Amino acid sequence: MKRVRDLVDGVLLLDKPVGLSSNDALIKAKRFMNAKKAGHTGTLDPFATGLLPLCFGEATKFSQDLLEADKTYLTTVHLGVRTDTGDTEGAVLETLPVTATVADIEAVLERFRGPIKQVPPMYSALKRDGKPLYEYAREGITLEREARDVVIHKLELVGYEAPFLKLAVTCSKGTYIRVLGEDIGAALGCGAHLNALRRTQVGALTTDHMVTLEALAAHGAPRELLAPVDALLSSFPSIILNDDLARRFLHGQRLPLGKEPSVAVPAQYEGRVRVYAADGRLLGTGLFGEYAILAPERLIATAA
């Protein structure tokens, strides 16, 4: 008999373990929750650990925001050793002596701060003709890849005990920390690969209240570990609507809130907002624009 899944809404801040793909971690968490619908918000490589926000039910409508969000990592770069994958899972291609000093490293790091260009690695999930690049790489095929624009907002030296270089990185979407580590190693003249990678922040979400798969499996009521759907929306201003306006909002109507003195609106702001009913229910997100007009964007189906 086919297992009946439940409608579960919320966000799980999972501490992904090493050796597990993001999709495998999602499948395990979804099974523990007995959830009907779930998705993750951007992958972590199997060798990486740390914050992997998992969205359940209505929260999946807002997962795209985290895909677009900046991310923060702690990483250990192993200088002097190049691998074909850029991390510990690959075969060693070259070993070189490491002579870099802290001053050398600081000078090189400065070159990678701000807007930079990165060539995506062959061992990545990017697709060419419907086939992931890593499949080509496993067949010994190397394809030309266009450099992409990314932004390194923060790149700090946390520690250096040769040949291991510890860095804290905050970066834009689409940044490959493996490639960053390799490029830093190349700039130092000794090559490098990532020895460890841990994600500590995605957008406004941090490692506070992260949960391991073991804790999830052992919890008698795992859904109690879920954060509410609006945990994904905390960076947006909020608007609270009275019952009549809430009903109209859920029916897709644009609302001229400048004519509603009972509704507090964000001052001098245009953009996305989170919208609530008077009783605290999240109704969804809206676009707040010129003349204080609120237009529905993504609505919570269970709010009606």
**pLDDT at residue 56, as a whole number:** 94
Checking if the pLDDT of 304 tops 80, the result is: no
Using pLDDT thresholds of 50, 70 and 90, give the confidence band for residue 26: very high
Q: pLDDT tens across 277-299, in order?
A: 999 999 999 999 999 999 999 99
Catalytic residue among 9, 45, 65, 183: 45
Q: Exposure string (b/e) for 120-137, b if CB count within 10 Å is 16 or more?
A: bbbbbeeeeeeeebeebb
Angle CA(126)–CA(129)–CA(130) in degrees, nearest 5?
A: 65
Rounded CA-CA distance 255/263 in Å is: 11
Q: What is the pLDDT of residue 137?
A: 82
45 as an active site residue: the answer is: yes
d(CA 190, CA 108): 13
Paired sense of beta strands 38-40 and 131-132, if any: unpaired
Query: Does residue 157 have a pLDDT over 90?
Result: yes
pLDDT at position 2 over 80: no
The pLDDT score that the predictor gives to residue 142 is: 86
pLDDT averaged over every residue in the chain: 92
pTM, two decimals, is 0.90
- The pLDDT of residue 9: 93
How far is Cα 141 from Cα 119, in angstroms, rounded to an integer? 16
Are the C-beta atoms of 87 and 194 separated by less than 8 Å?
yes
Residues 60-82: tens digit of each pLDDT: 999 888 888 999 999 999 999 99
Residue of 300, 304, 302 lying closest to 61 (CA atoms): 300
Cα angle vertex 145, ends 143, 151, to 5°? 150
